[in-house]
Amino acid sequence: MSHKDDVKEFLTSRRARITPEQVSLPGGPGRRVPGLRRTEVAMLAGMSVEYYAKLERGDLVGVSDTVLVALADALLLDDAEREHLFDLSREANDSPVRRRRRQVPKDVRTSVRWALDGFTAGPAFVRNGRMDVLAENQLFRGLYWEMYEQEHRPVNLARFAFLHRELSERFYPNWATAADINVAILRTEAGRNPHDRALQDLIGELSTRSDEFRVRWGAHDVRHHAHGDKHFHHPVVGDLDLVYEAMEPMGEPGLNFLVYSAEPGSPTEESLRLLASWVATKEREREQEQHHADRTEAAHHEEPA
């Protein structure tokens, strides 16, 4: 899909979701399609219908910030959608010389890993905008144990949600919401960094292999993933009701540091303690198995010919 198509579908989808009543305009039975008419958006944004039609055709070249703000107000865009609109505009107005891929982090500083390892009250991890998990603490590995059982590295939350449906639908009690969030984060990242080849490849893979992803991708929803509730069903410890906070490490644009926690004294807090014990045992057993395998292989190589 071209950049103009992205702009066109984003604007038309935002226009289609607004009812006249939301913006104090008369409704009525004469409307053949949902949402506002182009003339109504143009009026609300203080521009001509012809100019708005140009924007909705995907042409954002030369559009000022003032016009973008007026358009965002008219379409009732939230903060994430406003930022996405400005990202689309920046891409339209970049020259080929200025266009270059923003470096997407593929690793984290050692000090960040120490911070993760030192946090033992709940699962914690660092991801990039492609939903690759770059670092995590032991509790996060325990929580997403079935994701880490898959071969692909780095582990990717969107790939787990859409390409391992039998596992992810059990793990996420509200799978549809989890799927929506994954796609919205990827769509946001695509607006920020449209030249990221690895992101394009991931989107292509998911679109090809998952009808659910393809439909959601076409909705053009975006999201800032800052805080909220998360509900999981772990195969060993059962239901977990957690809250999360996300933050961006200083000096590491494009990374998100996410921490899950449980309400003190809740059943989930006790379940996290059980999970911590379980994953510590599993990883210790795995280390012992690997050590035994390494010793066996070394002994085999030392045998005389």
Residue 32: what pLDDT? Answer: 76
Cα–Cα distance for residue pair 161/290, rounded to 1 Å:
29
Q: All domains of the chain, ordered by start, with CATH?
A: 3-93 (1.10.260.40), 110-287 (3.30.450.180)
Structure-block tokens of residue 188: 């946001």
Residue 102: what pLDDT? Answer: 60
Find, among 150, 87, 88, 109, the residue nearest to 255 by Cα.
109
Residue 179: what pLDDT? Answer: 98
* Predicted TM-score (pTM) of this structure: 0.87
Residue 16: what pLDDT? Answer: 94
Residue 97: what pLDDT? Answer: 42
Q: Across-strand partners of 247?
A: 257
Per-residue pLDDT of the chain (305 residues; tens, 9 = 90+): 688 999 999 999 999 999 998 998 887 777 777 899 999 999 999 999 999 999 999 999 999 999 999 999 999 999 999 999 999 999 988 745 445 556 667 788 899 899 999 999 999 999 999 999 999 999 999 999 999 999 999 999 999 999 999 999 999 999 999 999 999 999 999 999 998 999 999 999 999 999 999 999 999 999 988 899 999 999 999 999 999 999 987 677 789 999 999 999 999 999 999 999 999 999 999 888 877 666 767 666 666 65
Helices 38-45 and 49-56: angle between axes, nearest 10 degrees: 110
CB atoms near residue 144 (< 10 Å)? 20
Parallel, antiparallel, or unpaired: how do β-strands 124-128 and 133-136 relate?
antiparallel
The sign of the CA dihedral 153, 158, 163, 165 is positive
